[in-house]
Amino acid sequence: MRSFLTPSVGMRESVRRGAVVALGTAAASLGIFAAPAQAASWESYLDSVGPNFESRRWYQGSAAAGTKIQFTGCTGGNVANVTLYKDIPYLPDPRYTMAAFTNCYNSSTAVSTGNWNDHGAADYYFVINEGAAEVYLSVRKVKVTY
């Protein structure tokens, strides 16, 4: 005679299966098995841009790991000074460290890289050769990762 208090073998298996399904559902809803967030990026090029050229703006979220700007294959002058700015509407834009890109002048495949720490969620842009003389810069490939 079976007691109503002791589950049968079949009931134990279904309880176990239900617990595994419930655990899987809870883990998925909490994002435990979710893939890590991927960095966003964009690519472009520069063709004979003068001093004080401003790049396009991009939105960098609050969970960003910072900004990386890469120039591949530079011509025009011998250094590209790149300054990162945060775009703040109706206020002066905060200016961050300038990076001097020189390696990209060595060949059409040579890369110069600048890295900036995360400065919070906002729109960002960079300025080329701010305040410099009339030197026109061309870059075969610009890549911004954020």
Model pLDDT for residues 59-103, shown as the tens digit of each residue? 998 766 799 999 999 999 999 999 999 999 999 999 999 999 999
Instruction: Give the whole-angstrom CA distance, residue 130 versus residue 112.
Output: 18
Quick one: pLDDT band at residue 4, thresholds 50, 70, 90?
very low
Say how far apart CA 126 and CA 132 lie, in whole Å: 15
Q: Does domain 41-145 have CATH number 3.90.1720?
A: no
The span from the CA of 40 to the CA of 35, in Å, is 15
Q: What is the pLDDT of residue 10?
A: 54
User: Could you tell me the pTM of the whole model?
Assistant: 0.72
Beta bridge partners of 127: 54, 83
Strands 122-128 and 58-60 come out as antiparallel
Of 95, 96, 102, the residue nearest 137 (C-alpha): 102
CA distance 79 to 70: 14
Dihedral, 140, 42, 51, 122 alpha carbons, nearest 10:
-170
Give the start-to-end residue ranges of the domains of the chain. 1-34, 41-145
The rounded mean pLDDT for the chain is 82
Pair 84, 126: CB distance under 8 Å: yes
Q: Which amino acid is at 48?
A: S
pLDDT for 94-130, tens place per residue? 999 999 999 999 999 999 999 999 889 999 999 999 9
